[in-house]
Structure 1
Amino acid sequence: MKIKLLLFVALAVNLSVIAQNEELKQAPDNMSAETVFNNYIKAIGGKDVLIDVITVKFNADVTIEGLPMSLTAEIKLMEPNNESVEMYAEGMGVISRQKFDGEAGYIEQQGVKTNLTEEQINSKKGKHSIFPELYPGDSELFFEGITSLKGKDAYKVKVVHGENITYKYYDTESNLLVRAEMESKSQGKSTMEISDYKGVNEILFPYKQKIMAGMQVITMSYTNITINEGVTEEDFK
């Protein structure tokens, strides 16, 4: 059994775009991508609170459609871009892991380790894994307009970082990120639906993410989120 490892998040911002044919609505004249980002930052807790977050640990129940097996995941992030994802199967222990320490990393599945490619490494460098909207850096931001998602309006923002492009959608009422559409040479096309925001230490985090990549559908339901504890540099080796 081989399971393709997909990383969530906040992490979706380092992939490339899926072009969409859609009819955009007129937005207020003073609306911009920077305004959408700033409103999102305020909605989830505010800049003064977010900048104090150095590490986050996520525990999740994982469901893969068509796979009759109980899976869990432990995801650890450390500023600026260290990432660790470990997937567990009931009765089998760790079945896959992905590590990135800011300079290099690897993917290991069922004992077979493969180093990250130069493309994968470059896509992770120069970005922040935890709150990318807080640190746009040298990314180019484009406000596309307002579109409709499941009957609700959402601001559409295009983020360009080098060769990587992502479309991100923010609910116009709550200002929360609700969807991201992505494509990469290494992982192909994928869509992430983001929902069920809950407060953790004065910060709103999404507790559910549904990732659709080709015929594969993965649902991550987070059971626990821990801020600034339980993560060390050794976790990314």
Structure 2
Amino acid sequence: MKKNAFLLLLTLLFSIISRAQTVDEVIENYLKAIGGKEKLLSLKTLRTTGFLKMQGMEIPYIQQQKAPNLQRSVALFQEKSIYQNCFDGTTGWHTNPKTLQLEKLSTEESEALKAEIQMLDPFVNYTKRGYSVTLEGKMLVEGKDCYRVRLLKKPPPMTNATVAELSSFYFFDTKTYLPVLVRNAIKKGTGKGGYMDTYLSKFQTVNDMVFPFEITQKINGKTTLSISVTQVETNLDLADQEFAFPG
């Protein structure tokens, strides 16, 4: 009798293990949920239009991206264009928040920005890109059961980034496989050493790809920025010159 009970227990345990998701299965289902690997690889340019919501204000903004890593983000505040996290393929540039003047980033800052703004989803061909992933169980996020996946990127050249700073945590809904939360280490400023949580919601399909139209950033549970997307455009004809430093 005891032997039969033990065999039954082993059978149940192996059955549970066999049904458990692997990290590759979670990633595969996630990529399918947002349009599929081939569709994502075909995405060459992206323009996102919307509003930044902060401190009771709504600020119009436009972000343009071009593969592999060109980016220009501009917000219109008090009739002045404020540029942030712009990259021309070699050098980063932005509007200095103190002087409100355009300036180029240092070589080290540019390399760090380049590593952050890769247009291709980080989970597409992640092994070939030198990234590693780990499935770290499940967590309840925003009332949803989520798979917690850790993504570890390569350190950018000329930086001394730690493992914690190179790690991002993605929380995928176990039912839809869409991301609910992305958690990143804060690498500089007064919040360095803590984490920024980015919540994604109100997903919509655009040209057979799925994008979040509501994005909320929180630090220590406090909302610092919300983004309401009004339009997403894909594969527009964007010249490299549009991403160049205006000076």
Taking the aligned partners of 2:143 and 2:70, their CA distance within structure 1 comes to: 37
Q: Please tell me whether the aligned partners of residues 78 and 231 of structure 1 are also in contact (alpha carbons under 8 angstroms).
A: yes
Q: Mind listing any 5+ residue stretches in structure 1 that lack a counterpart?
A: 1-25
SS at match of 1:132: coil
1:19 is matched with none
Which residue of the other structure, out of 183, 196, 203, is the alignment partner of 2:202?
Answer: 196
- Alignment match of 1:53 (pick from 26, 43, 48): 43
Once the two structures are superposed, the pairs formed by residues 137-156 of structure 1 within 5 Å of their partners are 137-156=129-148
How far apart in 1 are the matches of 2:236 and 2:243? Answer: 15
- What is the CA–CA distance in structure 2 between the aligned matches of 1:233 and 1:174, rounded to whole Å? 36
Letter in 1 for 2:138: I
**Alpha-carbon separation, structure 2, partners of 1:126 and 1:80:** 11
Matched, 1:211 2:217: yes
TM-score, normalised on structure 2? Answer: 0.76
Give the SS at the match of 2:83: strand
8 Å CA contact 1:128–1:135 kept in 2: the answer is no
Q: 1:116 to 1:143 in 2, by over 3 A?
A: farther
Contact 1:167 1:180 in 2 (8 A): yes
Contact 1:127–1:135 (8 Å) recurs in 2: no
Are the equivalent residues in 1 in contact too, given 2:76–2:82 (CA < 8 A)?
Answer: yes
Matched, 1:94 2:101: no
Quote how far apart the aligned CAs of 1:38 are: 1.1
Q: Which residue of 2 aligns with 1:63?
A: 53
Mark the CA change 1:76 to 1:223 in structure 2 (over 3 Å): closer, same or farther. Answer: same
Provide the C-alpha distance between the structure 2 equivalents of 1:102 and 1:186, rounded to a whole number of angstroms.
23
Q: Secondary structure at the match of 2:31?
A: helix
- Which has more radius of gyration? 2
Letter in 2 for 1:138: G
TM-score normalized by the length of structure 1: 0.79
Distance 1:120 1:180, change over 3 A: farther
The letter of the residue matching 2:39 is: V
Once the two structures are TM-superposed, the CA of residue 235 in structure 1 deviates from its matched residue by 2.2
Paired amino acid for 1:232: A
Structure 2 residue identity aligned to 1:155: Y
Show structure 2 runs of 5+ residues with no match: 1-15, 155-162
> Within 1, Cα distance between the matches of 2:17 and 2:201?
24
Match of residue 182, structure 1, among 181, 184, 190: 184
Name the residue aligned to 1:72: 60
Match of 1:105? 92
Give CA-to-partner distance per residue, 1:48-85, whole Å, 9 cap, x none. 22221101100011101x2x433011111111122211
- Alignment partners' CA distance in 1, 2:180 and 2:167: 17
Report if the CA contact (8 A) 2:85-2:113 is conserved.
no
Distance in 1 separating the partners of 2:74 and 2:17: 41
Percent sequence identity over aligned pairs = 22
Q: How far is the alpha carbon of 1:122 from its aligned partner?
A: 3.5
Of structures 1 and 2, the one with the larger relative CO (CA 8 A, separation 6+) is: 1
Structure 2 SS opposite 1:102: coil
Alpha-carbon distance in 2 for matches of 1:174, 1:106: 37
RMSD: 2.3
1:128 aligned partner: 118
Q: Out of 196-205 and 93-102, give the one that drifted further.
A: 93-102
Deviation, structure 1 residue 234: 1.5
Tell which deviates more after alignment, 30-39 or 48-57: 30-39
Maintained 8 Å contact 2:92/2:109: no
